[in-house]
Amino acid sequence: MTKKYCIIGASAAGVAAAKKIRQLDDAGDITCFTAEPQVPYNKCFLVDYVAGIKPYGDLGIFTESDIRAKRVNLLTDCPIISIDPQAQCIVDVHGVSHAYDALLIATGSKAFVPFPDHCRTDIFTFHTLNDINSLVARIFRSQSKRIVIIGAGLTGIEACDALLRMQCDVTIVESKPHILSTLIASQAADFLSERLKGAGVKVVTSGFVMSIEKENNVVQGVSLSNGDFLPADIVICAVGQRPNTDLANNVGSQMCNGYLIVDQYQATTIQSIFAAGDCVMVQDARTGQLMPSVSWPDAMQQGICAAYAMVGKPQPYRGLTSLISSSFFGVNVTVGGYLKERSHYNIADSITFSAYERTATNDNNELDHFVFIGSDMNRLRQLRVAFMSKI
> Are residues 250 and 218 both part of a single domain?
no
Instruction: Flag whether 321 is in a domain.
Output: no
Q: What is the pTM of this model?
A: 0.93
> Are residues 119 and 227 both part of a single domain?
yes
Quote the distance between the C-alpha of residue 295 and its chain's center.
Answer: 6
Is the pLDDT reported for residue 118 higher than 60?
no
Q: How confident is the model at residue 341 (pLDDT cuts 50, 70, 90)?
A: low
> Are residues 364 and 216 both part of a single domain?
no
Average pLDDT over residues 368-376: 95
User: pLDDT tens for residues 199-219?
Assistant: 999 999 999 999 999 888 889
| Mean of all residue pLDDT scores within the chain | 93
Domain housing 245: 4-110+241-310
Cα(78)–Cα(348) distance, integer angstroms: 51
Question: Dihedrals φ, ψ of 23, to 5°?
Answer: -65, -35
Instruction: Flag whether 173 is in a domain.
Output: yes
Let me know: does 274 contact 263? Beta carbons within 8 Å.
no
Q: How confident is the model at residue 86 (pLDDT cuts 50, 70, 90)?
A: very high
Q: Give 204's contacts (C-beta < 8 A, 6+ positions apart).
A: 171, 172, 173, 174, 224, 228, 230
Instruction: Flag whether 316 is in a domain.
Output: no
Report the alpha-carbon angle 64-66-71, nearest 5: 95
The H or E element containing residue 183 is: none
> Are residues 156 and 213 both part of a single domain?
yes
> Are residues 121 and 206 both part of a single domain?
yes
Average pLDDT over residues 166-190: 95
> Are residues 174 and 231 both part of a single domain?
yes
Report the alpha-carbon angle 379-354-351, nearest 5: 75
> Are residues 249 and 216 both part of a single domain?
no
Cα(315)–Cα(265) distance, integer angstroms: 6
Q: How confident is the model at residue 72 (pLDDT cuts 50, 70, 90)?
A: very high
Is the pLDDT reported for residue 171 higher than 90?
yes
User: What is the pLDDT, as a whole number, of residue 162?
Assistant: 95
> Are residues 92 and 139 both part of a single domain?
no
Average pLDDT over residues 58-85: 94
The H or E element containing residue 367 is: strand 367-374
> Are residues 203 and 271 both part of a single domain?
no
Average pLDDT over residues 240-257: 92
Q: Report the domain count for the chain.
A: 3
Domain of 361, CATH number, reads 3.30.390
**Of 176, 155, 161, which Cα lies nearest the Cα of 294?**
155
Domain boundary among 237, 267, 298: 237
Average pLDDT over residues 313-342: 90
Domain of 166, CATH number, reads 3.50.50.60
Cα(232)–Cα(249) distance, integer angstroms: 38
Average pLDDT over residues 96-102: 98
The H or E element containing residue 48 is: helix 46-51
Q: What sign does the dihedral 247-239-329-347 (CA atoms) show?
A: negative
> Are residues 126 and 225 both part of a single domain?
yes
